[in-house]
Structure 1
């Protein structure tokens, strides 16, 4: 179904990606955001997030006039469907902060016509869709749950080719209307409560897989096994699958930390303990300490006097996003022990300098300068560019440095040949 009048609230990661993709499908799309500076930049064709193919879709939507940005909610008055895509960060007790959602709903209640549909794409606790529906029912506005499953650095492709489209609603008409806006994909229809829990459950399960892999990595290192061989076997089993079985510095980003916390909070509200998720979070929290301990015991100088280079700061390759990045967590742990930290990341120019300063990191825009004089070099993000570095040159500038490869990205023989000590994650002789 093309030609629908669609609104999107929030021009952050999910909202902006959804808006440009909906416009690409021919829907007249209006995106509302409270940040006036962001709206101006987007209206001028400047992409405000780092995502492949997004700048081109933004330019096309503006040029064809299928995409508009504004701070005014009354621009949504004639919309058939409005997606709420605002942030729901963690509160201190782990619960989701729904103030932005509630503020958006309050505005929509004053401008939407009867018969319009509000689709909650923000990740929200179970019961939120039902509560919002009760609030808007008197205005004749329908509400459905439509959680997003977009991966950073793959979001455009994920929207164009969804592996699942999740719609939570007890009413077929609004559910059908929302489903029609998406590209063809496997449609999963269920109650709003099931859809809300399913979103949290999916992300929490991915976190459990990663934490389990990191625990296995520690076992493999001590037993003389190789975690990459172990997970290769596990991933070949179709009941398990190969995704999210890579050892690393821990999980982070904008979703897994807050979603696992929110799921645990919901469990407490209903008197249900989720020990698997609790354990995954505990394992994840310990990963930075494990990596810092490895650096501490393997370098030839006290860590309080050591120079450490971090390769990679973003939470994953292909993005400039450092929100809840495990790389920054590791750096912060090293800094608390007195290490002097320099760091290089291919997206360094797009990373907020305040976040680096808060973690006591000196950003350097050249990997060789960043590594000069280092006692330890810690690979924290899986950027493929790190494989192509001239490691002989690095060895000349940092003789005797220990390379702690948390992502198992590098070739151990190559580093050994140039005189560097290599420690893989979950490998024989590693950590």
Structure 2
């Protein structure tokens, strides 16, 4: 087992990884930018190193500086968390060159799944259902319109190198698609360094269902069940829950089998997530995240499996601590993402946290990287905390989350707490009648 792990991330996910490392008796090394000098993750880690100015390219994405820290701290392995360098194949190759274990899948897997067009091709070859769409990037707006007329509107235009809901736009007709093509191409080039776009048929009111998988180096691959991530704003998840209800047992079995099939086709190692759009009795591959997901806690709460511990075990060459038959799910869990953002516009709202209170309780879990006095800057994602609540069933979990959010208080900046409270009280959410259109339709 490793003796010391460098966590190349910040905020709540850095704190989360430190927690599992401590449980395994592994020392931790944190990095921080000048803006994060007093951040919570720096005080929780055994060691912490300054990696540069606030801008991410000068600090959290400063690869040379990160490896200088790794060498100085004499670490065995690097955990990337999510975002930043977590799905960067070049970074993984650098880890291999530096003889440091990367806690995640292989660079080859990342490369295949990192480009959404190559991911579609791979999944089709593996027998996983994919949405009707282009098998290659579309060269022009005219080509996009021509293909859309073949498969019928509405269509979804997507950045091949995209992620996090960026570079996605739905078009209902040729005029909207032509306009979206040029704006999305610029946006994709700006965010991902590639303006490559592809096209898929758009479903009218699907649910966003994902399956958590984990594979070890011995060839074992298991799933930990599914999550419903349909509550989204700007194509980004804001509330997730496990298990996903309202799906037939036959559909669930097919989803889980498709996820295992996909992972096995990649000889997948470590934690990953297969994302699908589900409508009626059909499902379609959306993308694969070759990293830990923000919403992994809901799966941990219903299965009792510490996914971060499994990631570390697998990276150390050990067998998964559970097999498929041992994975049992109990109760229901819901996660709400608390952001420093205007609850009406969802625009980021930086500032200094004056009061930070989330009630404690046996069925309440708080994953956070902030506290009273933390300055939330515009340099990073405005996620403050994840509030995860469990219950004996969904009705119980919803009731517990309503109470928890109503008793939570954050002062000093705007947050989306009022929005989250409204969602939790909405009749359609309470009755589990949700699709990815929920926020657009009701808010």
TM > 0.5 between the two?
no
Q: Which has the higher contact order (CA 8 A, sep 6+)?
A: 2
Higher normalized strand content (fraction of residues): 2
**Who wins on radius of gyration, i.e. which is larger?**
1
